[in-house]
Structure 1
Amino acid sequence: MKEKFLGVDVSNYTYAQLKENIMSDINERRKSFIVAINPEKILHAQKDADLLHLLNRATYQIPDGVGILVASKMTGGSIRERVTGIDMLLALCEQASLHAKSIFLYGAKPGVAEQAKDRLKSMYPDLQIAGVLDGYEKDKEKVKETINHAQPDILFVALGSPRQEYWIVDHMHELDVQVFQGVGGSFDVLSGKVKRAPDSFQKVGLEWLYRLIKEPWRIKRQIKLPTFLLKVWKDKK
């Protein structure tokens, strides 16, 4: 169940379908890899064949961006629900707490993942958090050993994109983990270091506008949306 925009696959699963599929992956011990897709990432992939290949290697390419929904509608697709990286993380933590699965938080600056852990425990008291490790650990073997010793079902990697996705692809078959998700700055949001857009903005898909108001320098990134939609429109002809 995937659609393709400028050569990049995007899954058209809803949150409910993703949760069911991923819990099944864990129970049947299938490794799966989740990557968030937005227009900016797709445009970067047009100039980077390695990134294009990386994105299409994922099991689930979630539509994290209103531009993806618009592009799907333009091309007669069926993607109608935005699936953000942080909300996917929260949905998986909820499922993990309900089904006695464990998670591991890897990445971000020292102390941030610990604060994210505390926040998640307050949200999901029954959640099993197998371990936490910041993204500044230089010993690659120690990182792998720490994660394997913890044996989590789900690993959230916050190293920034696309570094975190390359890290996952390079190491997922060396790790005793079933589900991998690159989560960008999600630990910063959970820890309270970065404020997420209010619910009113989230519900109508305007988180980008809230961030633009707060951080005007983002305009250079936001103007890529019309470029993306124009390319998709031309590509569908």
Structure 2
Amino acid sequence: MENHRTVKRDKVDILSVQFDNVTMDEMRHYVTEFVETDTTDNMFVVTANPEIVDYALEERSYYDLIGEADFIIPDGTGIIQAGRILGTPLKERVPGIEFMAACLAIAERHRQKVFLLGASEKVVNEAVKHLQADYPHIEFASHHGYIDVGDEKVARQVSTFNPDYVFVGMGYPKQEEWIKRHRHRLQHTLLMGVGGSIEVYSGTKKRAPWVFRKLNLEWFYRLITDWKRMTRMQRLPRFVSKVFQTRRKK
């Protein structure tokens, strides 16, 4: 069976970041195939939105880091719009929290192990409690995310658990830096940065209501409910400006 590393996939260039042009169903297929393949390879997935792309364009080390991922999937609505503006449309948005849910459903079917790394100790414990109720055949372990990327004790805890999935909710770039630094300790594991998804699963943070998601305004809901995001949101107009500059050059 061909694995996810050898299958030739359609890529879309968004400001020099190479996105995989995939649907949610296709990602489910890739993960299921990975789970069912006898391999020691890991799968590193980056869920990228406009903030991440803009940051990657400013920080070369981070740009190179996400370039090592097996998949870069279009998390943000802004990425989908950018693809259309640049004349290279992507098939659909693949929201990180929904892809995480798809992975959990696969883990439940295969009775696998999941490690959550991120948020505060109280929040990540609540997330595990809620997820255990929803996915009784998954074995969970966790640690809070208030750690240094180089913390060897936590890295050993993760590798000793021998998880099939590691979901790191520390926010970019720290979550991807942790994955890069420690993934060599793991075998046949899917690793993904999940931002604030652990808070959502814990019940301490609400996802945008359906109408905001339907209108592609989930980013606006997050802004008006969490003013601490204001600084990060300043990357959005810069991203949009770069997209239109690129279109003019084309």
Scaled by the length of structure 1, the TM-score of the pair is: 0.90
Mean CA deviation greater in 85-94 or 171-180: 171-180
* Structure 1 segments of 4+ aligned residues over 6 angstroms from their partners: none
Partner of residue 120, structure 2 = 109
Aligned length: 236
Partner of residue 43, structure 2 = 32
Residue correspondence of structure 1 range 115-130 to structure 2 within 5 A: 115-126=126-137, 128-130=138-140
Partner of residue 189, structure 1 = 200
| Paired residue secondary structure (2:72) | strand
- Maintained 8 Å contact 1:25/1:178: no
1:133 aligned onto 2:140:
no
1:21 aligned onto 2:3:
no
Structure 1 distance, partners of 2:234, 2:160, is 45
| Paired residue secondary structure (2:117) | strand
Partner of residue 109, structure 2 = 98
- Maintained 8 Å contact 1:107/1:158: yes
Q: Residues 121-168 of structure 1, C-alpha deviation per residue, up to 9 Å, x if partnerless? A: 222233x12411222456833222222222111111122211010110
Structure 2 distance, partners of 1:48, 1:148, is 29
1:57 aligned onto 2:57:
no
Structure 2 distance, partners of 1:38, 1:49, is 17
Residue 219 of structure 1 deviates from its aligned partner by 4.6
Partner of residue 146, structure 1 = 157
Cα–Cα, structure 1 residues 124 and 199, in superposed 2: closer, same or farther, change >3 Å?
A: farther
Q: What 5-or-longer segments of structure 2 have no aligned partner?
A: 1-9
1:84 aligned onto 2:95:
yes
- Maintained 8 Å contact 2:119/2:170: yes
Cα–Cα, structure 1 residues 54 and 190, in superposed 2: closer, same or farther, change >3 Å?
A: same
| Paired residue secondary structure (1:111) | helix
Cα–Cα, structure 1 residues 170 and 110, in superposed 2: closer, same or farther, change >3 Å?
A: same
Cα–Cα, structure 1 residues 216 and 106, in superposed 2: closer, same or farther, change >3 Å?
A: closer
Q: Over the residues paired in the alignment, what is the CA RMSD in angstroms?
A: 2.0
Residue 177 of structure 1 deviates from its aligned partner by 4.7
1:9 aligned onto 2:32:
no
- Maintained 8 Å contact 2:42/2:186: no
Mean CA deviation greater in 25-34 or 88-97: 25-34
Of residues 154, 169, 175, the one that matches 1:164 is 175
Q: Residues 41-78 of structure 1, C-alpha deviation per residue, up to 9 Å, x if partnerless? A: 11112221111111211111111111100111122223
| Paired residue secondary structure (2:121) | coil
Residue 83 of structure 1 deviates from its aligned partner by 1.5
Residue 214 of structure 1 deviates from its aligned partner by 2.1
| Paired residue secondary structure (1:86) | helix
% identical aligned pairs: 36
- Maintained 8 Å contact 1:7/1:52: no
